[in-house]
Structure 1
Amino acid sequence: MAKYLVSLIILGCIAGVQAGNDLSDFSNNLATDLGPLLALFGDSITVQYLSESTSFLDYFIFAMAPIGIITAIVSTIRVCGSSSLRAFIGRSQEGESSIEAALCTSTSRDVCEMFNKGGITRVLGRPTILELIQDPRIRNGQGLDLFRNYLDRSISSETSSEWSRTTPAPKHDSNSQTEMLAPTPNLSLNVGIIQRSRWVFFAVAATGLLLESFTLAFAGVGVWVFDWTLNEGAGGAARDYAPTMFILGTILLSTGMWSCAALIGQTTHEIRYKRQDQPDTWLSQLMWLQPGPQVIGDQSFDSFAFFEKEGKRLKIWTSSTKDLSKKYEGFAEW
């Protein structure tokens, strides 16, 4: 029995040494092991998040957990960079429409959004799609109308409207306040993305800030207070500058990622209308009708219809357009 006990102790020591070596190898090769995963999922997730970010709170959340760092930098150059910068990343011949379709929330005369097999696809082209509203308070046979016409008529009339504009009106004089709306419906902002309460985004931002702060504090306290280090042979100089470089680098990285997201997001201008509290019997109903089949950008799209559901009415309607007043690059005429 004693012989078996000694054998088990020896095997346990060997396993412990082997486990220690495996843990050391894993910690040393952690970046190499996670590199393919970040390269695989970081690009698509980063582009999708940047293309749906519209507020500074969205940019802050992205800065707290930057996955595709290179993708964010390249995307910023594609949207805001000069010709020389775009040529540096191999994008000098890329058109503005393709950039808008990939990285912006806006729709324009060249970029549109279409229903495709239960999802929403951004393509280049001019679609045939109707954004309608049905208002039960109108009894004269005109209860169904285009939503932009409904907004224009409700603004010009003196009667109270169910929808009120939350973003400031343009400074220049305009005969119609709906002239600045996107020419085609923004399906992704109004249909594709589930609208959460504002406190959800604040909670996510606060959680990210706490985790980021804990990481920075742990790096400083672990080395400066508890004298923890992976390399036992490291000198005092390494223990002094390593946490400082890590903390400063993390802060600069988060600031840079916030700047990249803000530069991309602020190239578009969002106009929002908020639905006022009304009795359930008075609530209007939004609907989107896509006739089909139609060919947009060498792609075929079938017919589709989307109606607001009872109890899940849209609270904020958004129209996003490319802000052409902001120029990041100047061209000289010779």
Structure 2
Amino acid sequence: MNPPTSSDEFAGDEFSNNLFSDLAPLLTLFGEQVTKQFLSLSLGWADNVLLAMGPLGIMTIIVSAIRVGGIKQLKAVVGRWDCRHRVEPPIILTCIRARESRSTAEQELLSSTSADVCELWSGREIVRLIGNPQMKWLILDKTDGKLHDLQSAYQTNVIQSDTKSRSDESEFIPTLSDAAPNLALNVRHATASHKELWFWAVIGVVLQGTALVIPGFATYRWAWLKAGAPVAGYGYPCFLVGTLLVIAGVLGCGHVIEGITTEHNFEPAYGKDIQSLVLQRSATVADQHFSSYAILGPSWIRTSTLESDPKDSYFSILAATSTLTALVGFVIQFVGLRALHWSATILQLGITLVMTGVRARARRGLAFDPTATRILDGHEKAWLALYLGE
């Protein structure tokens, strides 16, 4: 029997490796849905920066960008395989991602609604489904008591847009009128303010910068050892370059998902007092039954629509290059982390956990529900008439 040995040095490398290997399955398990939830309300560059700082679910981000970017060749590579058990052969693998409809990706990943994707109120939550229940925005002009749809309200100067000029109305107003109302974006406090998002984005940049700088000091200034030996010369350069590539790749993937949709904000015209509402008729969509509701919105309206045809656009090229950049960067970063002092791994993991909490904080509006009134099925017009008469 060998005599016990003692060491004054904390076995940090072994601790780091065990911690990372234990947490990695959990991060992979929970990272997909958390990341998709964040992506579904991404509306600008602040969201992209938040996504790229201490990223979680990198593979989900990459696959999402490929699905949204419309690259069939890459869709075939990342296709989701369904296992169907049969007697002979025992397992049949069927690739469905390469042939999925555009509306499927829109339903799962984007903030937009369209003629194919809708949002309905179930009585307890907002549900995104593939279907068209023929819902439209209704806008009550309280100054004269007239009821408008989105197109007529815009053309009669009841509402105005802060994102488009009047010369473009013939292009985007009919499209918005035909699309299903976006309920999630029109719940009060549904999304954090622009200033708050940029505040959290700056915090993320500072934290991620700290995770890049401290390992450099530990390697070149403080000369911390790796398993009792100096850190390999390639360690920090690989970690630095790999992390920057991952950030750039995730930032590009986030822009593909966010930039492929267009948001329009409408507010009351000068001197107008409006009430927006959506009259949800009783309907069955995707084998789910939804009762009738009157969903009252705020005095402003936000819509999100998908680009009419992103094929052959720069989004496809950006999705491909960003995917490659993120994958290569992750490999290089991993090689660098394995060569650095164990504190670099723990620090980067800590930044990821902190930024996951920050992203959840930025999406706290998902917990809010719209103001909805239950209506007897088939009596939607009667309720509307009574409401207008009040």
Report the TM-score when normalising by structure 1: 0.78
Q: Is structure 2 residue 276 aligned with structure 1 residue 270? A: no
Which position in structure 2 is the counterpart of 1:151? 154
Alignment-derived partner of residue 41 in structure 2 = 52
- Residue in structure 1 matched with residue 104 of structure 2 by the alignment: 98
Instruction: State the aligned residue count.
Output: 292
Equivalent position of 1:254 in the other structure: 247
From 186, 194, 197, the equivalent of 1:198 is 194
Which one of the candidate residues 203, 206, 209 is aligned to 2:205? 209
Letter in 2 for 1:41: F
Question: Distance between the aligned counterparts of 1:51 and 1:196, measured in 2?
Answer: 14
C-alpha deviation, 1:241, in angstroms: 2.0
Shift of 1:65: 2.8
1:79 corresponding residue in structure 2: 68
**Contact 1:269–1:321, Cα closer than 8 Å, also in 2:** yes
For residue 289 of structure 1, give the secondary structure of its aligned residue in structure 2. Answer: strand
2:173 — aligned with what?
Answer: 178
> Are 1:220 and 2:216 matched, yes or no?
yes
Q: Which residue of 2 aligns with 1:113?
A: 119
State whether residues 139 and 277 of structure 2, in contact with CA within 8 Å, keep that contact through their aligned partners in structure 1. yes
SS at match of 1:118: coil
Q: Which amino acid aligns with 1:327?
A: K
Secondary structure of the corresponding residue to residue 98 of structure 2: coil
2:276 pairs, out of 286, 292, 310, with 286
Q: Once the 2 structures are TM-superposed, how far is the Cα of residue 260 of structure 1 from its aligned partner?
A: 0.3
Residue 174 and residue 213 in structure 1: after superposition, are their counterparts in 2 closer, same or farther (change >3 A)?
Answer: closer
- What are the Cα deviations for residues 134-164 of structure 1, in whole angstroms up to 9, with x where unaligned? 22211xx52x33344212221xxxxxx4x32
CA distance in 2 between counterparts of 1:289 and 1:275 reads: 20
Are 2:107 and 2:128, in contact at CA under 8 Å, matched by a contact in 1?
Answer: yes
Distance 1:275-1:245 versus aligned 2 partners, 3 A rule? farther
Alpha-carbon shift at residue 262 of structure 1 (Å): 0.5
Counterpart position of 2:350: none
Counterpart among 292, 311, 322 of residue 306 in structure 2: 322
Compute the displacement of 1:179 (Å): 1.6
Q: In the superposition, relative to structure 1, how do residues 232 and 195 fare at CA in structure 2: closer, same or farther (>3 Å)?
A: same
Which of the residues 287, 300, 307 maps onto 1:298? Answer: 287
Q: Distance in 1 between matches of 2:299 and 2:212?
A: 40
RMSD of aligned alpha carbons? 2.8
Alpha-carbon distance in structure 2 between the residues aligned to 1:29 and 1:192: 44
Measure, in 2, the Cα distance between the counterparts of 1:177 and 1:28: 54
1:166 to 2:170 alignment = no
Partners of 2:75 and 2:108 in 1: CA distance:
15
Please tell me whether the aligned partners of residues 64 and 254 of structure 1 are also in contact (alpha carbons under 8 angstroms): yes
Q: Tell me if the contact between 2:40 and 2:108 (Cα under 8 Å) persists in the aligned partners.
A: yes
Do the aligned partners of residues 248 and 145 (structure 1) sit closer, same or farther apart at CA in structure 2, a change above 3 Å counting? same
| 1:1-32 superposed Cα distances (whole Å, 9 cap, x missing partner) | xxxxxxxxxxxxx9x979945x6543122221
After superposing the two structures, state which structure 1 stretch, 85-94 or 178-187, moved more.
Answer: 178-187
Deviation sequence 1:222-243 (CA, Å, 0-9, x none): 11111113421246xx0x3211
Structure-2 residue corresponding to 1:7: none
Identity of aligned residues (%): 32
Say yes or no: does 1:129 pair with 2:135: yes
User: What is the CA-CA distance between 1:130 and the residue it aligns to?
Assistant: 4.1
Query: Structure 2-normalised TM-score?
Result: 0.68
Specify every segment of 5 or more residues in structure 1 that has no aligned partner in the other structure, as ranges. Answer: 1-13, 155-160
Amino acid at match of 2:192: R
Deviation at 1:197, TM superposition (A): 2.8
The letter of the residue matching 1:269 is T
Residue 196 of structure 1 deviates from its aligned partner by 3.2
**What is the CA-CA distance between 1:295 and the residue it aligns to?**
0.4
State how far apart, in whole Å, the 1-side matches of 2:8 and 2:123 are: 52
Is the aligned partner of 1:65 residue 2:49? no
CA contact (8 A) 1:152 1:178 kept: no
User: Secondary structure at the residue paired with 2:174?
Assistant: coil
CA–CA distance in structure 1, aligned partners of residues 220 and 268 of structure 2: 54
The one-letter amino acid paired with 1:288 is V
Q: Which has the higher mean CA deviation after the structures are superposed, 296-305 or 42-51?
A: 296-305
Equivalent position of 1:6 in the other structure: none
1:5 maps to which residue? none
Q: Relative to structure 1, is the Cα distance of residues 328 and 296 closer, same or farther in structure 2, using a 3 angstrom cutoff?
A: same
Q: Would the alpha carbon gap of residues 306 and 229 (structure 1) be closer, same or farther in structure 2, given more than 3 Å must change?
A: farther
- Structure 1 63/314 Cα, relative in aligned 2: closer, same or farther at 3 Å? farther
Alpha-carbon offset, residue 177 of structure 1? 5.7
1:30-88 per-position Cα deviation (integer Å, ceiling 9, x unaligned): 22111122112110011121121121121111111310100111111111142221111
Rounded Cα–Cα distance in structure 2 between residues aligned with 1:248 and 1:314: 48
